[in-house]
């Protein structure tokens, strides 16, 4: 079906381009960056992202604090399907928070604060100043949910970079903890930035999958600037470029800054669509249903790298 999308027109054609470019990333053995906003984890795309980490199909994860917050909550307490059109004041009175048509009861955050306080004690006892990637890795090691993004990333040593760690409840709870404990603790972001730059400099080829925009997308493309630009890029976004925002900027604009290589126009594309509609199709066609060049099948169906033996 997706092959027919190539000649369907409109965003279907862009989705077919996205599948093709992602397959080329894999064929070339690219270091694949997955940059995603937290609403991906708010939705059922959490399981899709967890799959990519569990199967070790991506190499670098860049996200926001909300992804960490909500991934941890979902290991213990689910979110609830709701509606877009509700009485917001009544929701507030009932202690229910709305994410689009997904509801998050406030008791989830009560549980999260208790969980994180215990984690903070051990985490900062080892070193008083840590990086966001250390935070994500060590937190992931404490989780026991096969659908957890953080757990699967930690299991496969996939670094999770979160430049805006304070921009969600995790940040609030860090703030409360810092004010309560009688010692200096801190989160060092510059070390992570240097590490992220190094990921690109050490890679022969890089490919970017940007689901959503904002801080994750820009950290993916900005750190690739140091290596002369990313070799491949796929954006999935509903942002518009007409307001001049970075979130709405298409990959063509990143080419002008040197953040994506200007090899030709076939190394990048943008699908203007809401991610929950197209990301599962992209992952199914470019990952789950595709064997990259240079791989051979094991007898049990698993893939192994091709060798010269």
Catalytically annotated residues: 259
At 150, list the tokens: 């953080």
What residue has token string 């953080």? 150
Partnered with residue 304 across adjacent β-strands are: 296
Q: Backbone dihedral region of 248: left (phi > 0), alpha (psi from -120 to 50 degrees) or beta?
A: alpha
Gap between the Cα atoms of 207 and 210, Å rounded: 10
Structure tokens at 24: 């080329």
Q: Which residue has the tokens 């304070």?
A: 166
How far is Cα 74 from Cα 9, in angstroms, rounded to an integer? 38
Dihedral sign for Cα atoms in the order 151, 137, 301, 49: positive
Nearest to 74 by CA among 112, 123, 130, 127: 112
Spatial distance between the Cα atoms of 149 and 276, rounded to a whole number of angstroms? 17
Query: Are residues 306 and 294 in contact, defined by beta-carbon separation less than 8 angstroms?
Result: yes
**Integer Cα distance of 273 and 264 in angstroms:** 23
Residue count (the chain) = 309
Locus of tokens 């949910």: 145
């Amino acid at each position: 079906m997706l092959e027919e999308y190539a000649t369907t027109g409109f965003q279907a054609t862009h989705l077919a381009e996205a599948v093709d470019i992602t397959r080329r990333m894999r064929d070339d053995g690219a270091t694949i960056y997955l940059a995603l906003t937290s609403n991906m984890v708010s939705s059922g795309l959490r399981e899709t992202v967890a799959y990519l980490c569990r199967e070790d199909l991506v190499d670098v994860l860049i996200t926001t604090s909300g992804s960490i917050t909500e991934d941890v909550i979902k290991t213990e307490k689910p979110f609830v399907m709701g509606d877009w059109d509700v009485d917001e004041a009544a929701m507030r009175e009932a202690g229910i928070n709305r994410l689009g048509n997904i509801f998050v009861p406030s008791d989830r955050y009560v549980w999260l604060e208790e969980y994180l306080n215990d984690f903070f004690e051990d985490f900062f006892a080892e070193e008083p100043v840590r990086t966001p990637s250390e935070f994500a890795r060590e937190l992931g090691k404490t989780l026991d949910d096969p659908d957890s993004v953080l757990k699967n990333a930690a299991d496969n040593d996939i670094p999770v970079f979160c430049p805006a760690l304070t921009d969600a409840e995790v940040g609030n709870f860090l703030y409360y903890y810092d004010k309560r404990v009688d010692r200096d603790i801190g989160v060092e972001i510059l070390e992570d930035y240097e590490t992220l730059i190094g990921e690109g400099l050490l890679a022969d080829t890089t490919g970017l999958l940007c689901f959503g925009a904002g801080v994750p997308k820009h950290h993916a493309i900005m750190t690739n600037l140091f290596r002369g630009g990313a070799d491949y890029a796929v954006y999935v976004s509903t942002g518009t470029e007409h307001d001049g925002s970075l979130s709405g900027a298409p990959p063509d604009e990143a080419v002008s800054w040197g953040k994506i290589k200007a090899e030709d126009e076939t190394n990048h594309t943008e699908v203007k669509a809401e991610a929950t509609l197209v990301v599962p199709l992209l992952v199914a066609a470019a990952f789950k249903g595709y064997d990259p060049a240079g791989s051979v099948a094991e007898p049990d169906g698993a893939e192994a790298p091709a060798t010269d033996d």
